[in-house]
Amino acid sequence: IAPKNNESKHISLFCSACKQTIYPYHLLHHKKTHKALNLLGFDSPQTKTDSKILLAQRQKLISKLTKTPKYSEAHRQKIDYSLEFLLDNHTPISYCDPANINNPSTLKKVNNALIKALSVCQDKNSTWQKDMEDIFIVLDNYGNRSDTCFLGLVDGFHGATAAETVAAELPLLFLDQLAQTDSSYKTSKDEQLILDSFATVFKADYKEKESIFSDKPGSDETSKTNTYEWIHKAYAKSFWRMDRLLQLGRNEVSKVRWSGCSVVTCLVERIPSEETHGTEEEEKKHCENNRHSPSARTAKGVAGLLHIANIGNTHAVLCKNGKNYCLSKEHSTSNVSERKRILQNGGNISTNEPDGLVEGYLRTTRGLGHHGDPVVKRSVIPVPHTISVPIDDTCQFLILASNGLWEVLDYNQVLALTLTTFTDYLRTYECVQQNETSSYKCQHVMPLTEENSNDLKALNDLQDGILYSNEDIFFTDLKGNLKPNKAKRSGENYAGQELLKTVSPAGSKSPPLFEEDTEMYSSNCKPKTAGRSRVTSETLYNNAASYVSEQLVKTALAAGSRDNITVLIVLLNGCDKIPKY
């Protein structure tokens, strides 16, 4: 849909640290204020300060610093910069006018019983970026399997060449690996021709190097518990081969600085249930025929599976029971384990703020491409983080986004914005329907009943349902430990100081309405043959997904993002079970 009026300027964020309501274009300045106060030694962000208090605190810190044996001029400069920032008391800069932002979303039709709607919204961010280097992937009936789709997002760096190549070839390489283990995955003739053309690249000597992915020994007990290890190995092997293809340098312009990219992908599969297959005998037969398939040995009641792989600084976040769970890992210099790995292997990390750059060039520590500089490539490895997670009707949203979103908003903020904009959209629709005719009742936002609130299964943490996680299939074989994610990303330097959530200020405008003269056939509503402003359930969720993705992009732009922004949002079956706020 095309919103008639912009709503992003009415979206506000509530800072639990200082108890203030802030707007997106104030967010960057607000965080800098908290960071400056922290550097000057003010523990409470609510501390009232004036010029005399700030100057006295600065003098106290400098005197203490000069008496320490590890005196650092750089630390003194940080103190001075913090003081200047707080004394300046300048008005927050609006990096863009939300009313002038026009970034229509793209709706993708996906025939999957787990997905109600899927929408992608992108913005080049022309204030800071010359070209759009983000590319998204949405493949329905992946591997010629119904109710299986492949989603992905590729965030390019130093050009879009690597991103374009990865978006076109990585799904084929992954499908080829899956088909070698599970015969239900099939490639078309055209896809097989492309795969055959890679035979000259993956010669015998190269296949010996990559054999570690498939020949790694494991105990019988491990093979029983790690049912989906083969998918994670397929991910690792396909990423490894993709990086090898990028080494060919096809379409690269520079001889030194070749392009690279961060990637996040998701394989979405529906699990056959007893209702679908009928008798237990048929279900058993299905599992025997697909003992290597992800649908085998799955907990009863699980509707589907998400197999996630990410590399770099693109991320996937799942909303389950109103909580956010990050299904990816940050591969950048802000990650302590990544810094340790690079330094132990002879790499260098510069002193650039905030966390340094790999060889003074890259913030990401893992990625595909970057082959032009062998020194950089020695540290930037193509090893993905992978995890498998079951989903059911308690899962509401899946969000894949590029660095342009995560550099200004953390996971908690994105979840709060998503929940608020989605429920506001459905609430507006419900009000419109009730105003048109009091006899017509349709409720898309289901209240939280006592039965639902006491459902222990629905309230279990996602950690209890992790099927398999392999952080580094290339180096180790560890199970993931997924916990509700704490506020991080754009707030890593001052984590714990503030937790922002979305609130709807009084007087905010209503979300956009819907197309008119459309017949309603919602399964949750009584059909009405005549009337205006009627939409199908499918159209309703499509419009809602489109609206939410646009608002996330606009909020990131208003908050001062300097990178390309791409948001891919998936509305899962549990999105209609969100309690009213």
CA distances in angstroms from 551 to 101, 421, 440, 517, listed in the order given:
10, 8, 30, 26
Least confident residue range of 168-172, 300-304, 391-395: 300-304
pTM of the entire predicted model: 0.76
Least confident of 95-104, 129-138, 140-149, 350-359: 95-104
Average the pLDDT over 119-134 and give the result. 92
Spatial separation of the C-alpha atoms in residues 386 and 177, rounded to whole Å: 15
Which residues have C-beta within 8 Å of that of residue 537, sequence separation ≥ 6? 521, 522, 523, 524, 525
Instruction: Identify whether the C-beta of residue 329 lies closer than 8 Å to the C-beta of residue 314.
Output: no
3-class SS letters over 268-316: EEECCCHHHHCCHHHHHHHHHHCCCCCCCCCCCCCCEEEEEEEECCCEE
pLDDT exceeds 90 at position 152: yes
* Pair 490, 410: CB distance under 8 Å: yes
* Enclosing domain of residue 30: 13-87
d(CA 414, CA 34): 20
Q: What is the pLDDT of residue 460?
A: 41
pLDDT of the residue at 444: 40
3-state SS class at 362: strand
How far CA 534 is from CA of 27, 287, 441, in Å, comes to 38, 43, 12
* Structure confidence at residue 212 (pLDDT): 66
* pLDDT value of residue 46: 64
CA atoms within 13 A on the CB side of 288: 6
In a domain, 46, yes or no: yes
Q: What average pLDDT does this structure show over 83-100?
A: 65
* pLDDT of amino acid 95: 53
Region at 540 (left for phi over 0; alpha for psi -120 to 50; beta for the rest):
alpha
Would you say 201 and 248 are in contact if contact means Cβ atoms under 8 Å apart? Answer: yes
Residue 202, Cα to own-chain centre: how many angstroms?
Answer: 32
- Cα 408 to Cα 406: distance, rounded to the nearest angstrom: 5
C-beta separation of 467 from 388 below 8 A: yes
Binning the chain into helix, strand and coil, the percentages to the nearest 5 are 40, 15, 45
CB 485 within 8 A of CB 495: no
Any domain includes 285: no
Main-chain dihedrals φ then ψ at residue 468, nearest 5 degrees: -170, 140
Half-sphere exposure of 474 (CA within 13 A, CB side): 14
Determine the Cα–Cα distance for residues 329 and 159; give it in Å rounded to an integer.
24
Domain membership flag for residue 61: yes
Q: Is residue 38's pLDDT more than 90?
A: no
pLDDT tens, position by position, 515-559: 433 333 333 433 333 333 445 688 889 999 999 999 999 889 888
Residue of 129, 152, 130 lying closest to 139 (CA atoms): 152
SS3 332: strand
**Can you tell me whether residue 2 is helix, strand or coil?**
coil
CA 450 to chain CA centroid, nearest Å = 32
Residue position matching structure tokens 């639990």: 16
Is 291 within the bounds of a domain? no
> pLDDT, tens digit, for every residue of 467-503?
556 655 443 333 333 444 444 444 443 333 333 333 3
Average pLDDT, the chain: 75
pLDDT for 285 = 44
User: How confident is the model over 198-221, as a mean pLDDT?
Assistant: 66
Q: How many other β-carbons are positioned within 10 Å of the β-carbon of residue 356?
A: 17
Is 82 inside a domain boundary?
A: yes
pLDDT tens-digit map of 380-423: 999 999 999 999 989 999 999 999 999 988 888 899 889 988 98
Number of structural domains found in the chain: 1
Q: Strand 385-391 and strand 304-311: pairing?
A: antiparallel
Half-sphere exposure of 435 (CA within 13 A, CB side): 8
CA-CA-CA-CA torsion for 521, 524, 526, 527, nearest 10 degrees? 0
pLDDT at residue number 500: 34
What whole-number percentage of the chain has pLDDT above 70?
67
Whether residue 29 is contained in a domain is answered as: yes
437-448 per-residue burial string, b: 16 or more CB within 10 A, e: under 16: eeeeebebbeee
**pLDDT: which is higher, 299 or 362:** 362
What pLDDT digit, counting tens, does each position of 431-453 carry?
Answer: 777 766 544 444 443 333 333 33
Position 457 scores a pLDDT of 39
Residue 120's SS3 state is: strand
Three-state DSSP class for residue 85: helix
User: Does some domain include residue 83?
Assistant: yes
Q: Give the mean model confidence (pLDDT) for residues 458-475.
A: 49
Read off the pLDDT band of 14 (50, 70, 90): low
User: pLDDT tier at 154 (50, 70, 90 boundaries)?
Assistant: very high
Residue 196 burial (CB count, 10 A): 9
pLDDT score of 94:
55
Three-state SS letters, 375-435: HHHHHCECCCEEEEEEECCCEEEEEEECHHHHCCCCHHHHHHHHHHHHHHHHHHHHHHHHH
Question: Quick one: pLDDT at residue 96?
Answer: 56
Residue range 63-77: average pLDDT? 80
